[in-house]
Structure 1
Amino acid sequence: MEDQFRAILSAVGEDPQREGLLNTPHRAAKAMTFLTRGYSQSIDEIVNGAIFETDNQEMVIVRDIEFYSMCEHHILPFFGRAHVAYIPAGKVIGLSKIPRIVDMFSRRLQIQEQLTQQIGECVQGVTQARGVAVVIEAKHLCAMMRGIEKQHSQMITSMMLGAFREDPRTRAEFLGLIRNQM
């Protein structure tokens, strides 16, 4: 990967041998490996057995999970907040596992629509919940620093499964709770 970054520096007209850029290919390769570490993670490793029996059947929400991802079209960052909810059907997942699931999928080359779907389907698959909801709000540098150059635009995506899709009251409760600051 270092050789590829060195070639990119040359292609944009830089001298990869100048003092300020000597170690840039190494640092860039290390950064790219970190930013895409989701490819080397698995859901089994992330959840690590943290699924627990419960009688609770009420909505569980983890709100304002910050994330950073890379757009698969331009390899530029997009970042924002994810809100994830589920209604248990006999099992709950450890609290830290939902943000870890968000991180695992966001640390891959992505589009926001796919990221939203992957998180929802994963939480559903792991918990077998009666319903799962995911809303993601993000800013995309591919729209901010190139292309349309709109600094204040934001993309919002959602995915509703089970009770969140079937019952408008459940969906409205979730959307109300993620909007309100507690």
Structure 2
Amino acid sequence: MTLWQLLVVVLVNSAVSDDRTNLIHDGQIDNDEEVPVIQINVEDDKEERVFTADELSQYDGSDETKPLYMAVKGTVFDVTEGKDFYGPGSEYHFMTGRDVSHGIAKWSFDPKHHHDNLDGLTKEELEELDKIYREVYLAKYPVVGITEKYAQLRRENMIHDEF
């Protein structure tokens, strides 16, 4: 079992159900196969916060007075509750303060995969990313906003919201 698989097992086993409003993104892979649905979780009563890459990087644990944030598929999660996994000195600390969707999809700790670009991922990798996104992050951690990149895709009608 890889470390990524272990992370998923541990986090899924400790996940709690969460029924909040979802935003949906349908996309296409280069070969016209459907991409798994991207489900974004935003609470109805809160204005959606958009994080620039610089703003998100301020929540990487280097300032102990700030919570720990990370993004997956453009959704910014407060993972402070999982500080044993994501806090400074922990194995997954590299994930905080950024969107590491590519690395999650590839089950990779290699720094070259610590980014949000999903180009070149296989259908299986995208499906695994969607599964981890839903079963780990949406299930366990509060959503605090979206990334600026995701907001731009929405403005360009590349992402469709469903309410």
Q: Scaled by the length of structure 2, what TM-score is found?
A: 0.29
Q: Scaled by the length of structure 1, what TM-score is found?
A: 0.27
Higher strand share: 1
Higher helix share: 1
